[in-house]
A and B are shown apart, each in its own frame.
Chain A
């Protein structure tokens, strides 16, 4: 399929925006998005200018020889961390430079990356629950507290996945997950099952901590992308607040 210059620039613009939006949704920082998009654009002989925000991306690409330029805006959809896509897109940008991929191959690769499956659900649940138990152990819990943290994390994450699937407000999902986890580990505190049940109570909601928004926020701020940094930081704070509200619910019910 031979594309005219105009069609080519149109298709390239679409692809670049899709790459940028995917990176934004899956948890890359602003610097990484800019570098990746610029790299792909320059591999095709165009110069790209980007405006990156949390909910939309704006891109202008131009060819300095023919002075043809193209602008487009694209909204990002719901944010969902997925480092397989970030890693795959970064790899793809190097393949494009080193192996001179054409647009069709790039389009295929993006579609393939989007359909790469997650880890099986049970593996995710078990490993994250194990991480919760590990946290409990690091803070000083014993075997029984680790078991409580394990169960609370497992059920909480399950609830979060189920609620997210039904497309509730993301902060509400986190609130519900934190509430369920805190109710399970709080029951242990209330029934005096072990000597130090507070360890389990404190660590049972740690799987929800907004690590990526907060770290990305500070990375953006250090890079000079102040607005994106502030937006991500606020997002992280609201998530932390939702977790606290979930805990508050359990604290009030059990009167801990």
Chain B
């Protein structure tokens, strides 16, 4: 039963990523790669959350996976890596936190009771900070491969031999 729920979430994560990919008008040849990357990244985040990590670290893990996958995808499908990475991390963008923070700010402006105000302020700041740090974790994860390869363009860095072989054998079998 667990696995069915897992697989279902996987599909919805993929569709969320693909929807945004189409909104951003990515080349059609990259669509299915984005579907898989979005689903995998989101799944890693959910697994990390299940293992008891906090939301920020989990998002970083998911984004790191997407970041490194995007490098491979860039070699395979001939597009810059962030064309894959940005639509794929969008399902992890902290929409709910940002929404609650904004709602909190709106309620704060109309609140007069001191105790309620403090309670609301605490929740708003909590949601806002989480949103900010999750977002930072996402961009850090996506750009990690770039930072590690010391800012060379991705096409100049050679993929390692094993992956080369893998892709070559794939081409040969096609």
Contact = CB atoms under 8 A, between A and B. Distances in A.
Q: Are A and B subunits of one complex?
A: yes
Interface of A: 27-29, 31-32, 35, 39, 81-84, 86-88, 90-91, 94, 118-119, 123-124, 127-135, 137-139, 202-203, 205-207, 209, 211-212, 214-215, 217-219, 222-223, 240-241, 243-244, 247-248, 251
Contacts of A129: 19
Contacts of B78: 91
Contacts of B22: 119, 123-124, 127-128
Nearest first, the 8 A-B pairs at minimum CB distance are A131-B19, A218-B139, A244-B102, A134-B12, A87-B79, A134-B16, A134-B15, A83-B26
A129 to B, nearest CB: 8
A112 to B, nearest CB: 14
A96 to B, nearest CB: 13
Contacts of B103: 244, 247, 251
Interface residues of B, number: 49
B80 A90 contact: yes
Q: Say what secondary structure dominates the interface of chain A.
A: helix
A248 B19 contact: no
B79 A32 contact: no
B6 interface: no
Interface stretch (B48-56, B89-97, B114-122, B161-169): B89-97
A88 to B, nearest CB: 8
Nearest to A199: B96
Nearest to B147: A222
A84 B153 contact: no
A118 B139 contact: no
B57 interface: no
B18 interface: yes
A204 to B, nearest CB: 10
Contacts of A219: 82, 139, 142-143
5 contacts: A35-B153, A87-B26, A202-B99, A219-B142, A247-B102
Interface string B42-65: 100000000000000000000000
Contacts of B93: 209, 211, 214
B142 A134 contact: no
A240 B98 contact: yes
B105 A244 contact: yes
Contacts of B21: 83
